[in-house]
Amino acid sequence: MNRVTPGESALAALLDPVGVAAFATEYWERAPLHVARDVPGYFADLFDVADIEEALVAGARDLERFALVRAGAPQAPLDAYVVTNPGIRPRATGKPPTAQVDPRKVLALFEAGYTLVIKDAGLLCARLQRWSNRIQHDLCAYAGANVYFTPPNAQGFEVHHDSHDTLTVQIEGTKTWRIYEPAIELPLESQPLHRETERPPLRLLDEIVLGAGDTLYLPRGYAHDARAGDGRALHVTFALAPVRAIDLLHATLDIAARDDVDLRRALPFGWHEEPGFAAAFAAQFEARLGALFGPAATAAAGAVALDELFAASRSDAGGAFAQLAGLAGLRDDAVLSLNGHVPYVLRAGNGTVDLLVPGKTLGFPPVCGAALEQLRSGNVRFDALALPLPDADRRAFVAALVREGLVLIHEV
């Protein structure tokens, strides 16, 4: 599989030949989907073992980024794969020793049957983060990439369910997944699957072999476990966190409370001992719920939910310094394009056209709206931008987008 280019849908590439529309109507939050391809190299450019080895060095001091797990055994403690190194000339510098992951200890645990987990691995691999960003753009859901590297015939986790949807891509080797009927449909974070001694009986729905080049989608709540085949197995799981109805309701109530003092009042003394309190409280607010959750409040809550999503998002540094240098010599015939590796949302603001990008919202005057729509539609020459402003302002507009990593300059 070729690397996903900025203008291509990452979600479509992960699901192919199943279309995105079919996925949305038949599988999303409804049912598991196994896309079998028999193309072992399909995800060769997404991530590989060399990236794991690089991450062990680049992220050595980020101890919480790594875990080593084996089904039926406790998670490996930090001292099993971490060493404490003194600084250079510590007596002269006074610098304290630092703890860091030791690849040699990781190898020993891997050889002993432990699965290496790299959490939010996009922080250690820009290529993988670009995939996460593309998925976020396609789904309008936060996507974080977790890496699982399992030795032959080993299993990392006991049966469990996740409180987020997952898209798993098998990169190397095979894994046999057992998928069970959900004990809780679309669970919240506060609804984990109980431990083996406490959880309810689970009914096995399917057992599939995920081969290199395959994709597996699981809606949150589908319990599962996975065991490697005769060779080592590497997969990446994209954890998906969409905006849920409960998120929108929470945000709506928060907004309503800014204007409604009754929502901000403390409950009366002794409320917890008053038998009629629950009925009286429900009656007090029952008739007002329609007003609290009206279209205006819900729209405002949707904006808050998007702001929160993009506050947790990440940008892309690919070619950033070359793009910055290109601003100084921006020519009229230069071609501009959106960088599809950076998630964004374009929306109407209060007298502005707002562009949500990772970590912030850029507000532009309405006159910039047509130019932004041009860029969304495809490549456009700088001198063809529908932007009726002086040349200096036109260049400032492009410069703002380039500095955010959202627009790329292509010299002809």
10-242: CATH superfamily:
Cupin (2.60.120.650)
The band of 177, judged by pLDDT with boundaries at 50, 70 and 90, is very high
Contacts of 210 (CB under 8 A, 6+ apart): 34, 168, 170, 174, 175, 176, 177, 216, 226, 235
pLDDT on residue 357:
95
pLDDT per residue as tens digits for the range 54-69: 999 999 999 999 999 9
Q: What is the mean pLDDT of residues 236-250?
A: 95
CATH 3.90.930.40 in the chain, residue ranges: 320-410
DSSP string, 320-366: HHHHHHHHHT--TT-EEEE-TTS--EEEE-SSSEEEEETTEEEEE-G
Per-residue pLDDT tens digits for 361-388: 999 999 999 999 999 999 999 999 999 9
Alpha carbon distances (Å) from 23 to 144, 161, 209, 210:
20, 21, 21, 19
pLDDT digits (tens, 9 = 90+) for 289-327: 777 788 888 899 999 999 999 999 999 998 999 999 989
- Mean pLDDT on 123-145: 95
Prediction pTM value: 0.92
Note the pLDDT tens digit of each residue in 318-345.
899 999 998 988 999 999 999 999 999 9
In the chain, CATH 2.60.120.650 covers: 10-242
pLDDT digits (tens, 9 = 90+) for 185-217: 999 988 888 654 566 788 999 999 999 999 999
CATH code assigned to 320-410: 3.90.930.40
At residue 2, the pLDDT reads 44
